[in-house]
Structure 1
Amino acid sequence: MTEFPKILMVLGAVLLIVGAVWHFVGRLPGDIFVKKGNVTFFFPVVTCIVISVILSILLNFFGRMK
């Protein structure tokens, strides 16, 4: 049970870094953004793919630590 707090701290630091990068980078090329009149539609396709890849790598890494 002593490893769990360490994992939470590392995960928190990773989320903080990802949030800071996301804030400064903004929308990635490939994200869908449509604005017509008063209606705005935004779907972050590339951002979702990047987050999925990063989470897959992290979960795979933490899964092999046992």
Structure 2
Amino acid sequence: MAELSGFGRVLIITGLAIAGLGLLLELVGRGVIPGLGRLPGDIYIQRGHFRFYLPITTSLLISLILTLILGLMRR
């Protein structure tokens, strides 16, 4: 049973990360975090009934923040 305790920790951390991501998406959707999702470098194309959105800069920013947070948690 001792070998399952490590797996339990991984599940807890994964669950907290998913909940945090869900909270972040909810806040962005409501406009609580201004500017996120409309940064320079994000591609938005609208033509008639067609809309295309590619959040390149937003993805890079979120990736950098998560990398820093997880790196600090590792220490």
Structure-1-length-normalised TM-score: 0.61
Shift of residue 6 of structure 1? 3.2
After superposition, what is the alpha-carbon deviation per residue over 1:5-48, rounded to whole angstroms, capped at 9, x for unaligned?
Answer: 43134213311221212222373232221223454332212211
Larger radius of gyration: 2
1:34 maps onto 2:40 in alignment: no
Matched residue pairs, number?
A: 64
2:3 matched to which residue of 1?
none
Question: Counterpart of 1:4 in 2: which secondary structure?
Answer: helix
Identity of aligned residues (%): 23
Structure-2-length-normalised TM-score: 0.56
Larger relative CO (CA 8 A, sep 6+): 1 or 2?
1
CA distance in 1, matches of 2:52, 2:15: 35
Question: Counterpart of 1:23 in 2: which secondary structure?
Answer: helix
Question: Counterpart of 2:37 in 1: which secondary structure?
Answer: coil
Q: Which runs of 5+ in 1 are unaligned?
A: none
Which aligned runs of 4 or more in structure 1 are off by greater than 4 angstroms? Answer: none
Q: Which runs of 5+ in 2 are unaligned?
A: 1-5
